[in-house]
């Protein structure tokens, strides 16, 4: 078995299996969640639930809308950099095998530059999680494992982009596959719940005229 | 059946989509919520941050709802429920969380900590572990209906004296406090006279068609997460409203009563209520807008601020109504910072004011509110909730704030234009 | 009130608004023995409704509830 064959298997077949695995588990999760009962708002509507939902999804892009981001702008910027890096690193797992022509040296460097801050932020997050008591006491092995795994994911991603040898690409795609298998079980799956949570909360606050706030009588 | 097993079954009964979303992997343990909580800010105890408090509950919920937690609980921090943990839950849900929702507003994921704590309150009530005083107050509210004929007699006697006060305030001997008469508005007070006289003055002033309810608007069963009894408390007022053929139910300045009646009751009953439900604040604001309520603002230069009760503001959507009323009367209104949906809980919410066992702790966690009030340099604090009123009076004394505290309507009637 | 019934505890609830008089009464009742009696005074007329309702729901005996010069005086006997 040649290295080329193994790399091909890891970049295509293994990723496809892992993606299907993740899709099946997410589907089960979503179905389970959707089957839980819910009591919608039934009091006379005061605000606008649709605007509430939109605003709820947009909250994270508006650092001034939450005290927790407004008073910690650097933390919010870190959050942004981390998630941009993660998105690029995920996107990259598709562009490598499916759009090789797109991966020019400039694009490779650009992607690496976008992932690198996430790697740095990841180190800061790890230091804070260990160093700050209020974070340490709520941290579980899953928190540390997820954080450290992502660091490897970012690192291998950067190396695969900048060095590009088969062994770096193999390492990158192996950890990607490992991630896809693990993510549905871990807290990294928060982004699935996020869509439910923000929708439900946004609809409630919108309905009641809390967010967006009603400045004058409608 | 063991108490822990019963408790878990009760938790399951309350496990809905909102709680299910927040119960497992939505929270990333990022810690952004930590400084949003007045309990944490007052105590600086990391175990009392919203995430730390919820995690104590979530780890049990994860054990039965999260795949990985079922297989390898230590990996996610999941744990089985024990009897000692149930005792800890009593403090978590009733003492350390006032259900104020400030953490929800400041969580990037919108983790619904108060919904989880509310479900735990209900669970604890069903296994008789909730604070006894809340149970007694709920029982007393319900007993008022059981002995209605006797209560009616006492109530009528009681109202005669209050009616005289209303007549004196309005300089109008024909002012009335009608009880159980057909009218357009059914006003539901609290027991305290300060929630009866000011609205009575206002309704008489504008010539409204109104009547006073035999019952009180407060609903301690909601604090207990005891939905059957909470419905019973609301239902007797609905029956009264139907009997008196009213169009609108107006509630006294009481935070949890408003949240219960206006927003939660329609969910409990599974359908919209047949009546419009308003707070007296909204009604006063309408009267101001239509010009039937007028105030003399010439004597009101005193520095004044307003505390948004969580149930009225962040959970109720009433922000501008009290401010419009206050700004018509006062020329020296000072906004608290932060306010409106970002306002801090006074520290007495969620029924905590009624629990004297935790009084010292309650005053301690009122420190954030005390600091907020001090910064405004106001001499008077207005609010729209009896629990907040009581708590702010106590923290004013303890933290030497030297402020007067009043409900909005109580304060506003002193500025009515009376010819 | 029975003349033989001695007051085990007195409670001043004047100036307090409901439900605090009920809360304080509930606590005070815990501090007396079954069959003993507590006498309290309050100024919030809400007690006229709340105290009888509380006694009814907790099973304690409301022996008397009177009003004199704007002060409400009530006597409660602990039953359980």
Domain boundaries in chain A?
Answer: 3-208
Which residues from chain B sit within 8 angstroms of residue A140, using beta carbons?
29, 75-77
CB contact under 8 A, A134 and B52: yes
pLDDT at residue A1, as a whole number: 57
Find the distance separating the first CA and the last CA of chain B, reported in whole Å.
Answer: 70
Helix residue ranges per DSSP H, B50-207: 50-65, 67-71, 73-76, 83-90, 102-105, 113-126, 132-146, 148-170, 197-206
CA dist A161 to A41, B249, B260, Å? 50, 67, 57
Check if B12 contacts A (Cβ < 8 Å): no
Q: In 3-state terms, what secondary structure has residue C1?
A: coil
CB contact under 8 A, A200 and B52: no
Check if C45 contacts B (Cβ < 8 Å): yes
CB contact under 8 A, C45 and B158: yes
Assess whether chains C and B touch, using the rule of 3 or more C-beta pairs within 8 angstroms: yes
Check if B67 contacts A (Cβ < 8 Å): yes
CB contact under 8 A, A137 and B52: yes
pLDDT at residue C4, as a whole number: 55
- CA A33 to chain B, closest CA, distance in angstroms equals 6
Per residue in B47-59, pLDDT (tens digit) is: 999 999 999 999 9
Does residue B238 contact residue B215 with C-beta atoms inside 8 Å? Answer: no
B188 burial class (0-12, 13-18, 19+ CB within 10 angstroms)? Answer: buried
Per residue in C37-75, pLDDT (tens digit) is: 999 999 988 888 899 999 999 999 999 988 888 899 999
Could you tell me how many helices (H) and strands (E) chain C has, helices first? 2, 4
Does residue A15 contact residue A177 with C-beta atoms inside 8 Å? Answer: yes
Q: In 3-state terms, what secondary structure has residue B401?
A: coil
Which residues from chain B sit within 8 angstroms of residue A198, using beta carbons?
109-110
**Segment (H or E) for B222:** helix B220-223
Which residue in C18, C20, C62, C63 is the catalytic one?
A: C18
pLDDT at residue B153, as a whole number: 81
Chain C 59-78, residues with CB within 8 Å of chain B CB atoms: none
> For residues B107-121, b (16+ Cβ closer than 10 Å) or e, as one string?
bbbbbbbbbbbbbbb
If pLDDT is split at 50, 70 and 90, which confidence band does C6 have?
Answer: confident
CATH number of B3-130: 1.10.1060
Which of A73, A75, A70 has its CA nearest to residue B338?
A70
How high is the mean pLDDT of chain A?
A: 95
Mean pLDDT in residue range B318-335: 96
Chain B 246-265, residues with CB within 8 Å of chain A CB atoms: 262-263, 265
Mean pLDDT in residue range A59-81: 96
Check if A90 contacts B (Cβ < 8 Å): no
Per residue in B254-311, pLDDT (tens digit) is: 999 999 999 999 999 999 999 999 999 999 999 999 999 999 887 678 999 999 999 9
A81 Cβ contact list (under 8 Å, min separation 6)? A117, A118, A121
Which of B325, B295, B319 has its CA nearest to residue B307?
B319
Q: Is C18 a catalytic residue?
A: yes
Rounded to an integer, what distance in angstroms lies between the CA atom of residue B385 and that of residue B312?
Answer: 8
Check if B79 contacts A (Cβ < 8 Å): no
Chain B 129-188, residues with CB within 8 Å of chain A CB atoms: none
- CA A73 to chain B, closest CA, distance in angstroms equals 12
Which of C66, C33, C26 has its CA nearest to residue C48?
C66
Does residue B120 contact residue B8 with C-beta atoms inside 8 Å? Answer: no
The phi-psi region of residue B350 (left if phi > 0; otherwise alpha if psi is between -120 and 50; otherwise beta) is left
If pLDDT is split at 50, 70 and 90, which confidence band does A15 have?
Answer: very high
Instruction: Indicate if the pLDDT at residue C5 is higher than 90.
Output: no
Does residue B188 contact residue B217 with C-beta atoms inside 8 Å? Answer: yes
Helix residue ranges per DSSP H, B259-416: 265-269, 280-290, 320-329, 359-364, 367-376, 386-398, 408-412
Instruction: Indicate if the pLDDT at residue C1 is higher than 70.
Output: no
Architecture of domain B134-290: 3-Layer(aba) Sandwich (3.40)
Which residues from chain B sit within 8 angstroms of residue A145, using beta carbons?
75
Find the distance separating the first CA and the last CA of chain A, reported in whole Å.
Answer: 71
Query: B303 — phi, psi (to 5°)?
Result: -65, 125
Instruction: Indicate if the pLDDT at residue A62 is higher than 80.
Output: yes
Check if C24 contacts B (Cβ < 8 Å): yes
Task: Respond yes or no on whether the N-terminal peptide bond of residue C19 is cis (omega within 30° of 0).
Answer: yes
A-B Cβ pairs (cutoff 8 Å, strict): 169
Candidate from C20, C53, C58 with C-beta closest to B144: C53
Q: In 3-state terms, what secondary structure has residue B235?
A: helix
**Segment (H or E) for C50:** helix C47-58
pLDDT at residue B121, as a whole number: 98
- Options 1.10.3470, 1.20.1270, 2.60.120, 3.40.50; CATH for B304-415 is 3.40.50
- Options 3.30.110.40, 3.10.690.10, 3.40.50.720, 3.40.50.10490; CATH for C7-77 is 3.30.110.40
Instruction: Indicate if the pLDDT at residue B313 is higher than 90.
Output: yes
Rounded to an integer, what distance in angstroms lies between the CA atom of residue B418 and that of residue B91?
Answer: 50
Of all residues in chain B, what percent carry a pLDDT higher than 90?
A: 90
Per residue in A16-58, pLDDT (tens digit) is: 999 999 999 999 999 999 999 998 999 999 999 999 999 999 9
Stretch among A7-11, A211-215, B1-5 having the lowest mean pLDDT: A211-215
The dihedral over CA atoms of A95, A97, A103, A108, expressed in degrees to the nearest 10, equals 80
Does residue B22 contact residue A199 with C-beta atoms inside 8 Å? Answer: no
Per residue in A90-114, pLDDT (tens digit) is: 999 999 999 999 999 999 999 999 9
**Segment (H or E) for C54:** helix C47-58
Chain B 81-110, residues with CB within 8 Å of chain A CB atoms: 104-110
Which residues from chain B sit within 8 angstroms of residue C58, using beta carbons?
136, 139-140
Rounded to an integer, what distance in angstroms lies between the CA atom of residue B105 and that of residue A53?
Answer: 13
Instruction: Indicate if the pLDDT at residue B188 is higher than 80.
Output: yes
Domain boundaries in chain C?
Answer: 7-77
Which residues from chain C sit within 8 angstroms of residue B236, using beta carbons?
none
How high is the mean pLDDT of chain B?
A: 95
CB contact under 8 A, C44 and B157: no
B236 Cβ contact list (under 8 Å, min separation 6)? B145, B215
CB contact under 8 A, B190 and C58: no
Task: Respond yes or no on whether the N-terminal peptide bond of residue C49 is cis (omega within 30° of 0).
Answer: no
Does residue B373 contact residue B345 with C-beta atoms inside 8 Å? Answer: no
Q: In 3-state terms, what secondary structure has residue C42?
A: strand
Assess whether chains A and C touch, using the rule of 3 or more C-beta pairs within 8 angstroms: no
Instruction: Indicate if the pLDDT at residue C3 is higher than 80.
Output: no
Rounded to an integer, what distance in angstroms lies between the CA atom of residue A49 and that of residue A51?
Answer: 5
CB contact under 8 A, A43 and B265: yes
Of all residues in chain A, what percent carry a pLDDT higher than 90?
A: 94
Does residue B100 contact residue B347 with C-beta atoms inside 8 Å? Answer: no
Check if B43 contacts A (Cβ < 8 Å): no
- What secondary structure, in 3-state letters, does chain A show? CCHHHHHHHHHHHHHHHHHHHHHHHHHHHHHHHHCCCCCCCCCCCCCCHHHHHHHHHHHHHCHHHCHHHHCCHHHHHHHHHHHHHHHHHHHHHHHHHHCHHHCCHHHHHHHHHHHHHHHHHHHHHHHHHHHCHHHHCCCCHHHHHHHHHHHHHHHHHHHHHHCCCHHHHHHHHHHHHHHHHHHHHCHHHHHHHHHHHHHHHHHHHHHHCCCCCCCCCC
**Nearest residue in chain A measured CA to CA from B317:** A210
Rounded to an integer, what distance in angstroms lies between the CA atom of residue A136 and that of residue A156?
Answer: 27
Check if A101 contacts B (Cβ < 8 Å): no
Which residues from chain B sit within 8 angstroms of residue C52, using beta carbons?
147, 150-151, 154
Which residues from chain B sit within 8 angstroms of residue C50, using beta carbons?
140, 191
Per residue in B64-81, pLDDT (tens digit) is: 999 999 999 999 999 999
Which of B265, B339, B365, B393 has its CA nearest to residue B102?
B339
Which of A43, A168, A51, A63 has its CA nearest to residue B263?
A43
Rounded to an integer, what distance in angstroms lies between the CA atom of residue B125 and that of residue B291?
Answer: 47
- In chain B, CATH 3.40.50.1860 covers 134-290
Check if C31 contacts B (Cβ < 8 Å): no
- CA B149 to chain C, closest CA, distance in angstroms equals 12
pLDDT at residue B317, as a whole number: 97
Architecture of domain A3-208: Up-down Bundle (1.20)
Does residue B127 contact residue B3 with C-beta atoms inside 8 Å? Answer: yes
Best residue in A138, A141, A215 to probe B by mutation, most B CBs within 10 Å? A138
CA dist B362 to A17, B95, B354, B398, Å? 55, 8, 10, 11
If pLDDT is split at 50, 70 and 90, which confidence band does B323 have?
Answer: very high
Candidate from C46, C52, C58 with C-beta closest to B193: C46
Find the distance separating the first CA and the last CA of chain C, reported in whole Å.
Answer: 19
């Amino acid at each position: 078995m040649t290295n080329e064959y193994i790399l091909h298997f890891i970049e295509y077949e293994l990723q496809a299996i892992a993606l299907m695995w993740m899709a099946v588990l997410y589907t089960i999760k979503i179905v389970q969640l959707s089957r839980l009962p819910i009591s919608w708002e039934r009091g006379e509507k005061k605000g606008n639930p649709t605007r509430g939902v939109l605003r709820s999804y947009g909250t994270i892009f508006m650092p001034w809308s939450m005290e927790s981001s407004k008073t910690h702008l650097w933390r919010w910027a870190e959050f942004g950099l981390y998630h941009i890096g993660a998105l690029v690193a995920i996107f990259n797992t598709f562009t490598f095998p499916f759009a090789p022509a797109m991966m020019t040296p400039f694009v490779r460097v650009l992607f690496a530059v976008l992932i690198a801050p996430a790697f740095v932020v990841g180190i800061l997050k790890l230091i804070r999680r260990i160093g700050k008591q209020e974070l340490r006491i709520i941290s579980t092995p899953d928190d540390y494992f997820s954080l450290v795994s992502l660091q490897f994911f970012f690192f291998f991603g950067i190396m695969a982009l900048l060095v590009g040898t088969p062994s770096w690409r193999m390492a990158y795609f192996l950890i990607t596959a490992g991630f896809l298998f693990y993510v549905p079980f871990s807290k990294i799956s928060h982004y699935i719940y996020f869509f439910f949570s923000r929708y439900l909360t946004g609809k409630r606050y919108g309905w009641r005229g809390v967010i967006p706030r009603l400045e004058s009588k409608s | 059946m063991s108490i822990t097993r019963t408790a878990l079954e009760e938790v399951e009964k309350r496990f809905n989509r909102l709680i299910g979303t927040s119960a497992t992997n939505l929270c990333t343990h990022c810690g952004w919520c930590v400084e949003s909580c007045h309990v944490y800010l007052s105590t600086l105890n990391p175990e009392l941050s919203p995430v730390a408090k919820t995690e104590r509950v979530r780890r049990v919920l994860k054990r039965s709802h999260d795949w990985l937690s079922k297989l390898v609980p230590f990996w996610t921090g999941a744990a089985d429920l024990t009897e000692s943990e149930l005792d800890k839950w009593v403090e978590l849900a009733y003492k350390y969380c006032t259900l104020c929702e400030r953490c929800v507003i400041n969580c990037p994921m919108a983790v619904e900590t108060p919904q989880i704590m509310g479900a735990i309150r209900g669970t604890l009530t069903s296994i008789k572990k909730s604070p006894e005083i809340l149970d007694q107050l709920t029982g007393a509210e319900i007993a008022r209906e059981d002995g209605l004929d006797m209560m009616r007699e006492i109530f009528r006697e009681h109202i005669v004296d209050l009616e005289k006060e209303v007549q004196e305030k309005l300089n109008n001997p024909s002012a009335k406090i009608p009880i159980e008469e057909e009218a357009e508005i059914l006003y539901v007070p609290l027991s305290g006279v300060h929630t009866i006289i000011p609205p009575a003055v206002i309704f008489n002033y504008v010539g409204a068609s109104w009547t006073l309810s035999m019952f009180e608007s407060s609903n301690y069963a909601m604090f207990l997460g005891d939905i059957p009894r909470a419905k019973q408390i609301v239902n007797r007022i609905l029956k009264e409203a139907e009997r008196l053929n009213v169009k609108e139910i107006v509630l006294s300045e009481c935070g949890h009563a408003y949240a219960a009646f206006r927003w939660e009751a329609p969910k409990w009953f599974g359908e919209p209520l047949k009546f419009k439900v308003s707070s007296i604040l909204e009604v006063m604001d309408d009267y101001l807008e239509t010009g039937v309520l007028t105030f003399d603002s010439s004597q009101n230069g005193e520095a004044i601020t307003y505390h948004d009760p969580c149930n009225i503001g962040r959970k109720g959507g009433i922000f501008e109504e009290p401010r419009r009323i206050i700004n018509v009367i006062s020329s020296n209104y000072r906004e608290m910072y932060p306010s409106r949906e970002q306002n801090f809980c006074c520290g007495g919410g969620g029924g905590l004011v009624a629990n004297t066992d935790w009084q010292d702790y309650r005053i301690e966690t009122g420190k954030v509110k005390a600091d907020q009030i001090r910064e405004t340099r106001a001499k008077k604090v207005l609010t729209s909730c009896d629990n907040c009123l009581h708590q702010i009076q106590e923290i004013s004394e303890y933290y030497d704030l030297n402020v007067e505290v009043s409900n909005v309507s109580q304060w506003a009637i002193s500025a009515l234009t009376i010819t | 009130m029975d003349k033989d019934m001695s007051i085990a505890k007195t409670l001043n609830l004047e100036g307090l608004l409901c439900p605090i008089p009920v809360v304080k009464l509930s606590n005070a009742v815990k501090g007396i023995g079954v069959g003993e009696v507590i006498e309290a005074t309050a100024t919030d007329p809400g007690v006229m409704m709340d105290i009888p309702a509380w006694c009814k729901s907790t099973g304690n005996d409301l022996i008397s509830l009177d009003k004199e010069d704007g002060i409400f005086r009530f006597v409660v006997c602990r039953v359980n």
